[in-house]
Structure 1
């Protein structure tokens, strides 16, 4: 799920960013991505036509600085931002809600993957104990190698499921936020610790 700017909202948000400081087009795209926690990444085809329209309306001016074109808000542009402060606050609140929803979705996916991993580890541990009971006492290394192959297969399957979930999430229009990736890293650390405990028995 990615935030969608309503009609005119992106225009106003761009003006608010330019009210903070002059920016070039790429800088604006980066700022939008950062301010939305990575849930909205506009393309050049989205930003530059709106900048051209703002310039046409006398709300911004542009100057060429080397290879970059820098856009700066005019007094008329600042007046519009000031007059629409309430609208801007609503836009920012909506974007914050979208970022939280994305983070919740990612955390939910990671929790589901963790539950599946714990179940797989428990089953593998049971199977290992059962096979250890049946294995010849004189050949523990052969049994360990066999179980290592099973563990490798379980880990590969888990990795594939998680990657598939993340790729599907992005393909559906969602994007990963920094907090979402932090949650994933934390979950993987917990999984690593669970594996270590299972190995130690």
Structure 2
């Protein structure tokens, strides 16, 4: 997971109109490209010697390939829109951040179980999606197998098997209902979620590829 950070100092003479435009137009348009999972806008609490107000906007990208696609396909047009409206009224610089580790107090509202077999088992991915690292248990999904066809040529999916002895090894996590919705956002439209019964008898959610489940 990568964070695309844009730091902007905006002139006081256009501050209010710029802030409205950022919140109501620009950030929604950036998210509408489908290249980012979420965005966060913060004000930098420092008095600038040169005046103005400084903000940091952080966009969460799934991977390097997706971020590079944004740079190539969307960034020039979106930056041009800002230049046309607020030319010479702001200074911006951009940085990339890699999520390494983040810890939060564990949620006490875990009401859902999620069986995973792919990237959601990776701690950096969990931190980016749920803002915490999950503690899971080994689990088995019987009557299923990993599909030979990859989603978008990159990502695995499970499918039901005609062979009852087939099974998929994975991990099961206890998460909250809100975290389950975050997982939906992460998996995207290429996957859909269904309830299954694990080998242990536990009922859990699992993500199938749209053409698989």
Q: Which has the larger radius of gyration?
A: 1
Question: Same fold by TM-score, threshold 0.5 exceeded?
Answer: no
Tell me which of the two structures has the higher relative contact order, counting C-alpha pairs closer than 8 angstroms and 6 or more residues apart: 1
Higher strand share: 2
Higher helix share: 1
Query: Structure 2-normalised TM-score?
Result: 0.28
Query: Structure 1-normalised TM-score?
Result: 0.29
